[in-house]
Amino acid sequence: MKLTGVELRRVAMPLVSPFRTSFGTETARDVLLVRVVTDGAEGWGECVAMSDPRYSSEYVDAAADVLRRFLVPTLAAAPRLDGNAVGRALSGFKGHWMAKAALETAVLDAELRSAGRSFGRELGAVREWVPCGVSVGIMDSVPELLDAVDGYLAEGYLRIKLKIEPGWDVEPVRAVRERFGDDVLLQVDANTAYTLGDARHLARLDPFGLLLIEQPLDEDDVAGHAELARMIGTPICLDESITSARTAAAAISMGACAIVNVKPGRVGGYLEARRIHDVCAAHGVPVWCGGMLETGLGRAANVALAALPGFTLPGDTSASRRYFETDITEPFELENGHLRVPDGPGLGVAPLPEVLAEVTTVTEWISC
């Protein structure tokens, strides 16, 4: 393939309800979409960077800047263009995994569309449907939380994840267990809000039979997670700390996590995400597919990844309507708690032109 140009497009996507986590409250997604145009086909990638560097050091304006200034020009000058070559071509630049992931995904999409092959087929999907969970934000009150969880269970979600922080942890978990029973698959996500000094407090979650606690400690505190794992009964799952297959292997061998949240948009793309899956599978560590409030474009690829054999737990792969009133693609809809894995060429979905035009705030064309 030969690169003709790359479009950077910003779209404003209001969320159906505010999403509060220990790092902040999101009311809308300011999404950066990357569209690559090649001599063969065009392809799309969604950058998962958020507006502010609170979940990660990356943020959307920085992603756009590094793409236009460094990543796109370097890729344009590379001797060979295909999905597998992108990581190596960009490896001279440190970090910026969310920007790199979006560009790699767009190139892979273009390549697979030309070849008539789906993301699922390319990555090694073994399922046509994937089981889905939902991530439930911090609420102002327990009754409000119970209403939200009730609604999601009624829609068919197979697993509930509660966002927690100091002051909103044991009580909401207890309330959900008391109201909905012990059979609900339940887990919590702290987004780094605790320290090792909170170990005794976190052990108070042990009686509730949680599937896992996600990222209680700092991103760079893998050793701390290993220590915490010896002090609490709930299995530890890492999200922010898992930046690559190499860090996943190291975290597993240190005993820092028993489960891994694979976030393709944060680890540099779907090819690295597959390598994380492979490393975890080799160690017998279950994985699940995380999310970053993606539109239908990012969701399509996440669902394809979640269909790999090692993804044995329901992911944060919720239906479009959990996030947006109107998605930019045909909406993903839950059927018996599952989403269907797209099987068309590439991502298998594309933006609906009228919707896309309506939500676009800026477009920028970079000729290659």
Q: Which residues are catalytic?
A: 163, 263
> Does 291 engage in binding with ligand OSB (CB under 6 A)?
yes
**239 contributes a contact to ligand OSB by CB under 6 A:** yes
The CB-of-237 to ligand OSB minimum distance in angstroms stands at: 10
Residue 118 contact partner, candidates ligand OSB, Mg ion, none, CB within 5 to 8 A by sort of partner:
none
The C-alpha atoms of residue 84 and residue 230 are separated, in whole angstroms, by 39
Q: Is position 26 an interface residue for Mg ion (rule: CB under 5 A)? A: no
Amino acid identity for residue 307 in this structure: A
Which listed option, ligand OSB, Mg ion, none, makes contact with residue 164 (CB within 5 to 8 Å by class)? none
Which helix or strand (DSSP H or E) is residue 46 part of? strand 42-47
The residue number with the shortest CB distance to ligand OSB is: 291
Strand-strand pairing, 185-189 and 159-163: parallel
Strand order of the β-sheet with 360-367 is 42-47, 24-38, 3-21, 360-367
Interface with ligand OSB includes 318 (CB under 6 A)?
A: yes
CB of 74 to ligand OSB, least distance (A): 28
Number of chain residues interacting with Mg ion (CB under 5 A): 3
Per CB under 6 A, the list member of 316, 324, 332, 337 interacting with ligand OSB is 316
Binding partner of residue 316 among Mg ion, ligand OSB, none, CB cut-off 5 to 8 Å per kind:
ligand OSB
* Beta-bridge partners for 161: 135, 187
Stretch that binds ligand OSB, among 95-103, 275-283, 286-294, 360-368 (CB under 6 A): 286-294
Query: How many positions of this chain bind ligand OSB (CB under 6 A)?
Result: 11
Site for ligand OSB contains 290 (CB under 6 A): yes
Site for ligand OSB contains 327 (CB under 6 A): no
Which residues, numbered 1-60, are part of the site for ligand OSB (CB under 6 A)?
A: 55
- Please, which residues have CB within 8 angstroms of residue 300's CB and are 6 or more apart in sequence? 119, 329, 332, 342, 347, 348, 349
Per rule CB under 6 A, is residue 105 in the interface with ligand OSB?
A: no
Question: Of 297, 274, 279, which is closest to residue 289 (Cα–Cα)?
Answer: 274
User: Considering the complex, what minimum distance in angstroms separates the CB of residue 163 from Mg ion?
Assistant: 8
Helices (H) and strands (E) in the chain, counts: 13, 13
Q: Does the protein bind ligand OSB through residue 189 (CB under 6 A)?
A: yes
Q: Alpha carbon of 367 to those of 75, 254, 258, 316, 349: distances in Å? A: 12, 46, 46, 36, 25
Instruction: Give the CA angle between residues 350, 352, 356 to the nearest 5°.
Output: 105
| Rounded Cα–Cα distance for residues 77 and 104 (Å) | 15
Distance CA(56)–CA(77), nearest Å, equals: 29
Residue 189 touches Mg ion, criterion: CB under 5 A = yes
* Interface positions, 329-368, toward Mg ion (CB under 5 A): none
At its nearest, how many Å lie between ligand OSB and the CB of residue 13?
12
**Closest Cα to residue 343, out of 163, 116, 31?**
116
Contacts of 24 (CB under 8 A, 6+ apart): 52, 54, 55
Query: Per CB under 5 A, does 294 bind Mg ion?
Result: no
Among positions 206-245, residues that touch Mg ion (CB under 5 A) are: 214, 239
Closer residue to ligand OSB in complex, CB, 293/339 = 293
Residues that bind ligand OSB (CB under 6 A): 55, 135, 189, 191, 239, 290-293, 316, 318
Residues that bind Mg ion (CB under 5 A): 189, 214, 239
